Protein backbone atom coordinates (compact mmCIF):
# COMPACT_ATOMS: atom_id res chain seq x y z
CA UNK A 1 0.00 0.00 0.00
CA UNK A 2 1.25 3.48 -0.90
CA UNK A 3 1.54 5.81 2.09
CA UNK A 4 1.98 9.55 2.34
CA UNK A 5 5.57 10.57 2.83
CA UNK A 6 7.57 13.76 2.59
CA UNK A 7 8.48 14.48 -1.01
CA UNK A 8 12.17 15.23 -0.64
CA UNK A 9 12.39 15.79 -4.38
CA UNK A 10 9.81 18.58 -4.21
CA UNK A 11 11.32 20.11 -1.08
CA UNK A 12 14.78 20.05 -2.61
CA UNK A 13 13.54 21.65 -5.81
CA UNK A 14 11.73 24.40 -3.88
CA UNK A 15 14.87 25.22 -1.90
CA UNK A 16 17.07 25.11 -5.00
CA UNK A 17 14.65 27.29 -6.96
CA UNK A 18 14.51 29.93 -4.25
CA UNK A 19 18.31 29.86 -3.82
CA UNK A 20 18.95 30.24 -7.56
CA UNK A 21 16.34 32.97 -7.82
CA UNK A 22 18.01 34.79 -4.93
CA UNK A 23 21.35 34.58 -6.75
CA UNK A 24 19.77 35.88 -9.96
CA UNK A 25 18.09 38.83 -8.24
CA UNK A 26 21.14 39.67 -6.17
CA UNK A 27 23.09 39.91 -9.39
CA UNK A 28 20.37 42.10 -10.86
CA UNK A 29 20.39 44.44 -7.86
CA UNK A 30 24.18 44.75 -7.97
CA UNK A 31 24.00 45.46 -11.68
CA UNK A 32 21.34 48.14 -11.27
CA UNK A 33 23.32 49.75 -8.47
CA UNK A 34 26.29 49.90 -10.83
CA UNK A 35 24.00 51.58 -13.37
CA UNK A 36 23.24 54.33 -10.79
CA UNK A 37 19.80 53.04 -9.77
CA UNK A 38 18.80 54.36 -6.30
CA UNK A 39 19.56 51.41 -3.94
CA UNK A 40 17.15 52.61 -1.24
CA UNK A 41 14.28 52.81 -3.69
CA UNK A 42 14.97 49.30 -4.98
CA UNK A 43 15.16 47.76 -1.52
CA UNK A 44 11.99 49.50 -0.35
CA UNK A 45 10.15 48.53 -3.52
CA UNK A 46 11.14 44.88 -3.23
CA UNK A 47 10.43 44.73 0.51
CA UNK A 48 6.96 46.27 0.24
CA UNK A 49 6.06 44.28 -2.87
CA UNK A 50 7.14 40.91 -1.49
CA UNK A 51 5.56 41.60 1.90
CA UNK A 52 2.25 42.49 0.30
CA UNK A 53 2.43 39.49 -2.01
CA UNK A 54 3.13 37.07 0.85
CA UNK A 55 0.51 38.36 3.29
CA UNK A 56 -2.21 39.11 0.75
CA UNK A 57 -1.50 36.46 -1.90
CA UNK A 58 -4.72 34.54 -1.27
CA UNK A 59 -6.84 37.71 -1.49
CA UNK A 60 -5.06 38.80 -4.66
CA UNK A 61 -5.59 35.42 -6.32
CA UNK A 62 -9.26 35.23 -5.30
CA UNK A 63 -9.83 38.80 -6.48
CA UNK A 64 -8.10 38.07 -9.79
CA UNK A 65 -10.37 35.08 -10.37
CA UNK A 66 -13.49 36.81 -9.02
CA UNK A 67 -13.84 33.88 -6.63
CA UNK A 68 -16.43 33.94 -3.86
CA UNK A 69 -15.77 32.26 -0.51
CA UNK A 70 -18.82 30.13 0.23
CA UNK A 71 -20.29 28.94 3.52
CA UNK A 72 -21.43 25.42 4.34
CA UNK A 73 -25.03 26.46 3.77
CA UNK A 74 -24.18 27.74 0.29
CA UNK A 75 -22.21 24.67 -0.81
CA UNK A 76 -22.92 21.79 1.60
CA UNK A 77 -21.64 18.96 -0.63
CA UNK A 78 -18.41 20.80 -1.35
CA UNK A 79 -17.81 21.46 2.34
CA UNK A 80 -18.62 17.89 3.35
CA UNK A 81 -16.28 16.47 0.72
CA UNK A 82 -13.37 18.70 1.67
CA UNK A 83 -13.95 18.09 5.39
CA UNK A 84 -13.67 14.34 4.82
CA UNK A 85 -10.59 14.64 2.61
CA UNK A 86 -8.89 16.92 5.14
CA UNK A 87 -9.47 14.33 7.86
CA UNK A 88 -7.76 11.71 5.71
CA UNK A 89 -4.89 14.05 4.79
CA UNK A 90 -4.50 15.32 8.38
CA UNK A 91 -5.01 18.94 7.34
CA UNK A 92 -6.99 21.82 8.84
CA UNK A 93 -10.02 22.60 6.74
CA UNK A 94 -9.29 25.46 4.30
CA UNK A 95 -11.70 28.15 3.24
CA UNK A 96 -13.68 27.15 0.18
CA UNK A 97 -14.37 29.39 -2.81
CA UNK A 98 -16.36 29.03 -6.01
CA UNK A 99 -15.60 30.74 -9.33
CA UNK A 100 -18.53 31.28 -11.67
CA UNK A 101 -17.01 30.33 -15.03
CA UNK A 102 -17.49 27.52 -17.51
CA UNK A 103 -13.72 26.88 -17.56
CA UNK A 104 -13.39 23.54 -15.69
CA UNK A 105 -10.62 24.02 -13.16
CA UNK A 106 -9.56 24.26 -9.52
CA UNK A 107 -6.73 25.83 -7.56
CA UNK A 108 -5.34 26.32 -4.06
CA UNK A 109 -3.75 29.45 -2.66
CA UNK A 110 -2.59 30.87 0.66
CA UNK A 111 0.55 31.06 2.79
CA UNK A 112 0.20 27.59 4.30
CA UNK A 113 -2.20 24.96 5.70
CA UNK A 114 -3.67 27.34 8.29
CA UNK A 115 -4.52 30.07 5.78
CA UNK A 116 -5.29 28.06 2.66
CA UNK A 117 -8.15 28.53 0.24
CA UNK A 118 -9.32 25.84 -2.18
CA UNK A 119 -11.38 27.10 -5.10
CA UNK A 120 -13.33 25.27 -7.77
CA UNK A 121 -15.16 26.56 -10.81
CA UNK A 122 -18.80 25.94 -11.56
CA UNK A 123 -17.67 24.48 -14.88
CA UNK A 124 -15.67 21.82 -13.04
CA UNK A 125 -18.50 20.85 -10.69
CA UNK A 126 -20.94 20.62 -13.60
CA UNK A 127 -18.74 18.22 -15.56
CA UNK A 128 -17.21 15.83 -13.00
CA UNK A 129 -18.85 13.06 -11.02
CA UNK A 130 -18.35 12.83 -7.25
CA UNK A 131 -15.31 10.54 -7.42
CA UNK A 132 -13.57 12.73 -9.98
CA UNK A 133 -14.35 15.90 -8.01
CA UNK A 134 -12.90 14.32 -4.88
CA UNK A 135 -9.72 13.44 -6.79
CA UNK A 136 -9.31 17.03 -8.00
CA UNK A 137 -9.95 18.45 -4.53
CA UNK A 138 -7.43 15.98 -3.07
CA UNK A 139 -4.92 17.21 -5.65
CA UNK A 140 -5.39 20.78 -4.47
CA UNK A 141 -5.17 19.73 -0.82
CA UNK A 142 -1.88 18.02 -1.67
CA UNK A 143 -0.53 21.40 -2.77
CA UNK A 144 -1.55 22.70 0.64
CA UNK A 145 0.09 19.78 2.47
CA UNK A 146 3.27 20.12 0.39
CA UNK A 147 3.38 23.86 1.17
CA UNK A 148 4.35 24.65 -2.39
CA UNK A 149 1.73 27.39 -2.90
CA UNK A 150 3.60 30.21 -1.16
CA UNK A 151 6.89 29.30 -2.87
CA UNK A 152 5.31 29.42 -6.31
CA UNK A 153 3.44 32.64 -5.51
CA UNK A 154 6.55 34.48 -4.33
CA UNK A 155 8.76 33.10 -7.08
CA UNK A 156 6.25 34.00 -9.78
CA UNK A 157 5.84 37.49 -8.39
CA UNK A 158 9.50 38.45 -8.10
CA UNK A 159 10.16 37.29 -11.64
CA UNK A 160 8.17 40.32 -12.82
CA UNK A 161 10.35 42.83 -10.95
CA UNK A 162 12.81 43.03 -13.83
CA UNK A 163 10.09 44.51 -16.00
CA UNK A 164 9.12 47.04 -13.33
CA UNK A 165 12.72 48.19 -13.09
CA UNK A 166 12.92 48.55 -16.85
CA UNK A 167 9.73 50.61 -16.95
CA UNK A 168 11.02 52.76 -14.11
CA UNK A 169 14.23 53.26 -16.04
CA UNK A 170 12.59 54.00 -19.39
CA UNK A 171 9.69 56.20 -18.38
CA UNK A 172 11.04 58.12 -15.42
CA UNK A 173 14.70 58.39 -16.33
CA UNK A 174 15.63 57.26 -12.84
CA UNK A 175 19.17 56.22 -13.65
CA UNK A 176 21.49 59.02 -14.49
CA UNK A 177 25.07 59.54 -15.50
CA UNK A 178 27.12 58.88 -18.58
CA UNK A 179 26.33 55.16 -18.57
CA UNK A 180 22.82 55.92 -19.77
CA UNK A 181 24.05 58.18 -22.54
CA UNK A 182 26.59 55.58 -23.69
CA UNK A 183 24.12 52.77 -24.20
CA UNK A 184 23.32 51.90 -20.60
CA UNK A 185 19.61 51.81 -21.36
CA UNK A 186 20.12 48.97 -23.84
CA UNK A 187 22.37 47.09 -21.40
CA UNK A 188 19.77 47.28 -18.62
CA UNK A 189 17.11 46.06 -21.02
CA UNK A 190 19.21 43.05 -22.10
CA UNK A 191 20.14 42.08 -18.54
CA UNK A 192 16.53 42.49 -17.39
CA UNK A 193 15.32 40.15 -20.11
CA UNK A 194 18.02 37.63 -19.18
CA UNK A 195 16.95 37.79 -15.53
CA UNK A 196 13.32 37.25 -16.46
CA UNK A 197 14.12 34.28 -18.74
CA UNK A 198 16.22 32.60 -16.03
CA UNK A 199 13.41 33.15 -13.50
CA UNK A 200 10.80 31.93 -15.94
CA UNK A 201 12.59 28.65 -16.63
CA UNK A 202 13.28 27.96 -12.94
CA UNK A 203 9.67 28.60 -11.97
CA UNK A 204 8.28 26.47 -14.81
CA UNK A 205 10.51 23.53 -13.84
CA UNK A 206 9.33 23.74 -10.23
CA UNK A 207 5.71 24.11 -11.30
CA UNK A 208 5.79 20.97 -13.45
CA UNK A 209 7.30 18.84 -10.70
CA UNK A 210 4.85 20.06 -8.07
CA UNK A 211 1.96 18.88 -10.26
CA UNK A 212 3.36 15.34 -10.29
CA UNK A 213 3.71 15.53 -6.50
CA UNK A 214 0.11 16.73 -6.06
CA UNK A 215 -1.19 14.01 -8.40
CA UNK A 216 0.54 11.43 -6.23
CA UNK A 217 -0.91 13.05 -3.12
CA UNK A 218 -4.40 12.85 -4.60
CA UNK A 219 -3.94 9.16 -5.38
CA UNK A 220 -2.82 8.48 -1.80
CA UNK A 221 -5.60 10.51 -0.15
CA UNK A 222 -8.43 9.02 -2.23
CA UNK A 223 -6.91 5.60 -2.88
CA UNK A 224 -8.34 5.87 -6.41
CA UNK A 225 -5.77 7.18 -8.94
CA UNK A 226 -8.17 6.23 -11.74
CA UNK A 227 -10.58 8.95 -10.63
CA UNK A 228 -7.94 11.63 -11.12
CA UNK A 229 -7.02 10.10 -14.47
CA UNK A 230 -10.66 10.32 -15.54
CA UNK A 231 -10.91 13.92 -14.29
CA UNK A 232 -7.76 14.99 -16.15
CA UNK A 233 -9.04 13.42 -19.36
CA UNK A 234 -12.43 15.13 -19.03
CA UNK A 235 -10.91 18.55 -18.32
CA UNK A 236 -8.40 18.20 -21.16
CA UNK A 237 -11.15 17.15 -23.54
CA UNK A 238 -13.42 20.06 -22.59
CA UNK A 239 -10.76 22.81 -22.53
CA UNK A 240 -10.39 23.18 -26.34
CA UNK A 241 -14.16 23.74 -26.61
CA UNK A 242 -14.21 26.61 -24.12
CA UNK A 243 -14.51 30.04 -25.83
CA UNK A 244 -11.11 31.70 -26.26
CA UNK A 245 -12.27 34.86 -24.48
CA UNK A 246 -13.08 32.86 -21.35
CA UNK A 247 -9.70 31.13 -21.43
CA UNK A 248 -7.80 34.40 -21.88
CA UNK A 249 -9.49 35.86 -18.82
CA UNK A 250 -7.92 33.21 -16.58
CA UNK A 251 -4.65 32.39 -18.39
CA UNK A 252 -2.67 34.41 -15.88
CA UNK A 253 -3.59 31.82 -13.23
CA UNK A 254 -2.35 28.80 -15.20
CA UNK A 255 0.44 27.98 -12.75
CA UNK A 256 -2.18 27.48 -10.01
CA UNK A 257 -4.69 25.43 -12.03
CA UNK A 258 -4.84 21.64 -12.13
CA UNK A 259 -4.70 21.90 -15.93
CA UNK A 260 -3.63 25.12 -17.72
CA UNK A 261 -6.38 27.08 -19.44
CA UNK A 262 -4.25 27.95 -22.44
CA UNK A 263 -5.56 29.31 -25.71
CA UNK A 264 -4.24 27.20 -28.58
CA UNK A 265 -1.08 28.73 -30.00
CA UNK A 266 -0.56 31.11 -27.10
CA UNK A 267 2.82 31.83 -25.55
CA UNK A 268 1.81 29.80 -22.49
CA UNK A 269 2.10 26.60 -24.53
CA UNK A 270 5.79 27.17 -25.26
CA UNK A 271 6.98 26.67 -21.68
CA UNK A 272 4.11 24.98 -19.89
CA UNK A 273 3.51 25.28 -16.18
CA UNK A 274 2.32 21.65 -16.21
CA UNK A 275 3.62 18.32 -17.51
CA UNK A 276 1.59 16.83 -20.34
CA UNK A 277 -1.62 15.02 -19.45
CA UNK A 278 -0.17 11.86 -21.00
CA UNK A 279 2.82 11.90 -18.63
CA UNK A 280 0.61 12.58 -15.63
CA UNK A 281 -1.69 9.69 -16.53
CA UNK A 282 1.29 7.37 -16.99
CA UNK A 283 2.52 8.30 -13.49
CA UNK A 284 -0.97 7.71 -12.04
CA UNK A 285 -1.17 4.30 -13.71
CA UNK A 286 2.12 3.38 -12.06
CA UNK A 287 0.71 4.42 -8.67
CA UNK A 288 -2.42 2.36 -9.38
CA UNK A 289 -0.24 -0.72 -9.82
CA UNK A 290 1.54 0.03 -6.54
CA UNK A 291 -1.79 0.26 -4.74
CA UNK A 292 -2.87 -3.10 -6.13
CA UNK A 293 0.17 -4.90 -4.71
- With CA atoms as reference, report the closest residue to 273 among 211, 228, 216, 215: 211
Cα→Cα distances 275→87, 205, 258, 283, Å: 29, 9, 11, 11
Cα→Cα distances 213→72, 79, 141, 264, 280, Å: 29, 24, 11, 26, 10
Query: What strand order describes the sheet that includes 68-69?
Result: 68-69, 95-99, 117-121, 106-109
Choose, from 72, 140, 211, 251, the residue flagged as catalytic: 140
Cβ(137)–Cβ(81) below 8 Å: yes
Give me the helices (H) in 72-147, please: 76-89, 122-127, 130-146
Q: Roughly what angle, to the nearest 10 degrees, separates helices 39-65 and 149-158?
A: 130
Instruction: Judge whether 132 counts as a catalytic residue.
Output: no
Other beta carbons less than 10 A from residue 212's beta carbon: 18
Active site residues per annotation: 140
Amino acid sequence: MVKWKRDLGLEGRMLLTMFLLAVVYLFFLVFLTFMNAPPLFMLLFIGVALGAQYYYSDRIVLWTMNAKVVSENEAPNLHQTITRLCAIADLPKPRIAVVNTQVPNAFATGKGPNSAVVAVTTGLMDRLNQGELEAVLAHELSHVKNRDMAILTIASFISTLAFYFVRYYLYFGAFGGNRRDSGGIMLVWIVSIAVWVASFLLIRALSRYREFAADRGSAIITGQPSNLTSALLKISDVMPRIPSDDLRKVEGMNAFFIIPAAVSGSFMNLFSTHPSTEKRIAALEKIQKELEL
